[in-house]
A and B are shown apart, each in its own frame.
Chain A
Amino acid sequence: MSEDSIISLKNVNKWFGDFHVLQDVNLEVKKKERIVVCGPSGSGKSTMIRCINRLEEHQEGSIVVDGIELTGNLKNIDNVRKEVGMVFQQFNLFPHLSVKENITLAPIWVKKMPKAEAEELAMRQLEIVKIPEQANKYPGQLSGGQQQRVAIARSLAMNPNIMLFDEPTSALDPEMIKEVLDVMVDLANGGMTMIVVTHEMGFAKTVADRMVFMDEGKIVEEANPDKFFNNPESDRTKLFLSQILHQ
């Protein structure tokens, strides 16, 4: 693990039953680096980032996040989850709580923050994702794009060092994708370490420091966006890009 690396995956292997979903995955992420992961469905990209905050357990190899190795140790897992925020494809907002309560819940109960302070924090996060006026509504009353922005605000309220995005725009109507991507671009420009699984290649070109292409549980190619899009090495990457860019 190099000096400034904040996430380090070494020879990570994982199986779902007999299915070898991650095969010797190696990935180093530096502080403030923005990584975009792409690849066909079933290639293991979601599984890989879900391993980084232990929503999935890897079976071989090592994952070290901010100096903490992910093992069966529950204390370590809790500490890593405090460092790592995650945004899901299906938003996963808590439908029985208002937008503001969704955001304040974890600061109040996990960080033991006083309620008034947490509410102030929530409003600041809602300003960042540009929907402060929705604070008292319930998730069911918001559009998909607004819900996803609340989900981002909810993660940010825990003040994470790393943000993981698992296909954040795949469940959105086309006209709502931009509002979510705009928020993510702001976040990237603010210096957040990000790993984003997405098929939004426009977004990848603007923010990614490095592209990671996965297929069949392996990392096939890693390159800067310029090289990745214009001069990819592997044939598999070329095929994938031709399909995704010329549909």
Chain B
Amino acid sequence: MNEKIESRKPPVATTGIIGWLRINLFFNWTNSLITIFVIYCLYQFVPWILDWTVFSADFKYNYLGQQITNQEMCSRNLDPENGGACWAVIYVRFYQFIYGFYPREEVWRVNISYVMLAIALLPLLITKLPYRKIFLNFTYVFPIIAYFLLNGGFGLPDISTNKWGGLLVTLVLGCTGIALAFPIGVLLALGRRSKLPVISMMCVLFIEFIRGVPLITLLFFGMVMLPLFLPEGIDMDGLVRVLVAVTLFQSAYMAEVIRGGLQAIPTGQYEAARSLGMSYWRMNFQIILPQAIRISIPPIVNTSIGLFKDTTLVIIVGLLDLLGIGRGTLADTNWLGLSYEIYFFVSLVFFIFTFGMSRYSLYLEKKLKTGINMGAD
């Protein structure tokens, strides 16, 4: 009985490429049938989409070699048998898609803001970044710098927000909404669980009211009603009014998501913190919230993605975000009928951002699962 039994290698056919194929794609006959069907669909679809988007597509010139300036010059309109997508519309209108109607001579301000946004996100994305603390400080002051840079001040000419548009508006709404809604949501969630009845009731009322109303209603509310509440003579910027509505909306959802996380924290954590003499805020910021927010990362990212896409609704109150610029372009007689290209492009841009967010959430979750690096920050 003392003989040592060597561990044996698994049977050959379960390892390697063949083994993988057999287990995952051809395990039994239904499995194989589905695999063959999917391969057939891909065979039909992939070459066609590649051909349409890349190989037969116009980028700047049509198949005659002319530079495209309107839809009539697109290859697919000149020769319906041959042409693919006509990306020239994106090329020609690229400036509007990215900056809206921001004056060309001032556009460097937007570009710097985009670059700064990327730098501000770095310490959030990469936890092992060298000098992360300094970068984080930059992240905190970035919104103030970006506000003055984009809006004007300190010697920079004012650019009214009705000239902003495209990706600029989408990012301003999305980033500000998410960034402001998070702390407000945390406070609302704590407030709703507060033992003080006045505070908890106010938070419940706020959350339930905002959640019970569609975002579009809130946008109209921001546009039409908000000025009525302001003292006379103070004119609130249109973008700011929309931002208020978007932030309120998002903070109510964020509050409920974080409340879910809070409810998952065992009472023992509260008792341990209190028995050590920690105050209410200390306990929440050091012990409870770091754990609750970790638990809620997937739904937090989920509602954030939702908000980022919902910013397209601002079109109904007259702001031209990325989709708004796209629709504006479609209404231009020069580019009539190019809806495939424009919606494809707008979808792609949204997809890049939301997919990035979803990968980020997966990365965070994975980091937590390994459980080792759980330092609070």
Q: Which chain A residues have a beta carbon within 8 Å of chain B's beta carbons?
A: 53, 55, 78, 81-82, 84-86, 88, 90, 92-98, 105-106, 109-110, 138, 140-141, 151, 154-155, 158
Contact = CB atoms under 8 A, between A and B. Distances in A.
Interface SS majority for chain B: helix
Interface stretch (B183-191, B254-262, B270-278, B359-367): B270-278
Contact of A106 (B278, B294, B376): B278
Contacts of A85: 275
A86 B371 contact: no
B276 A138 contact: no
Given A55-B271, A88-B271, A140-B371, A94 B277 contact: no
B275 A55 contact: yes
18 contacts: A53-B275, A81-B275, A86-B271, A92-B266, A92-B272, A94-B269, A94-B287, A95-B374, A96-B294, A96-B374, A97-B374, A98-B375, A106-B276, A109-B282, A110-B277, A110-B282, A154-B276, A155-B276
A4 B198 CA distance: 44
Given A95-B291, A96-B376, A138-B371, A158 B277 contact: yes
B290 interface: yes
Contacts of B271: 55, 86, 88, 92
A227 B19 CA distance: 73
Nearest to B283: A109
Nearest to B373: A138
B374 to A, nearest CB: 4
B286 interface: yes
B130 interface: no
A92 B274 CA distance: 11
Contacts of A88: 268, 271-272
Contact of B276 (A81, A90, A96): A81
Contact of B275 (A84, A90, A96, A105): A84
A25 B276 CA distance: 25
Interface string B68-79: 000000000000
A86 B274 CA distance: 10
Q: Which 6 pairs between the two chains have the least Cβ-Cβ distance?
A: A92-B272, A92-B268, A106-B276, A86-B275, A81-B277, A96-B374
A55 B274 contact: yes
Given A88-B272, A92-B269, A106 B277 contact: yes
Contacts, number: 69
A55 B278 CA distance: 13
Nearest to B288: A94
A86 B279 CA distance: 16
A84 B271 CA distance: 13
A115 to B, nearest CB: 14
Contacts of A94: 269, 272-273, 287, 291
Interface string B285-303: 0110011001000000000
B293 to A, nearest CB: 10
B196 to A, nearest CB: 13
Contacts of A81: 274-277
Contact of A110 (B276, B290, B294, B372): B276
Contacts of B276: 81, 105-106, 110, 154-155, 158
A78 B277 contact: yes
The CB with the most chain A CB atoms within 10 A, among B268, B272, B375, is that of B272
B127 to A, nearest CB: 14
B278 A109 contact: yes
Contacts of B278: 105-106, 109-110
B297 to A, nearest CB: 13
B374 A105 contact: no
Interface in B45-96: none
B296 to A, nearest CB: 14
Nearest to B277: A81
A155 B287 CA distance: 16
Contacts of A82: 277
Contacts of A55: 271, 274-275
A109 B286 contact: yes
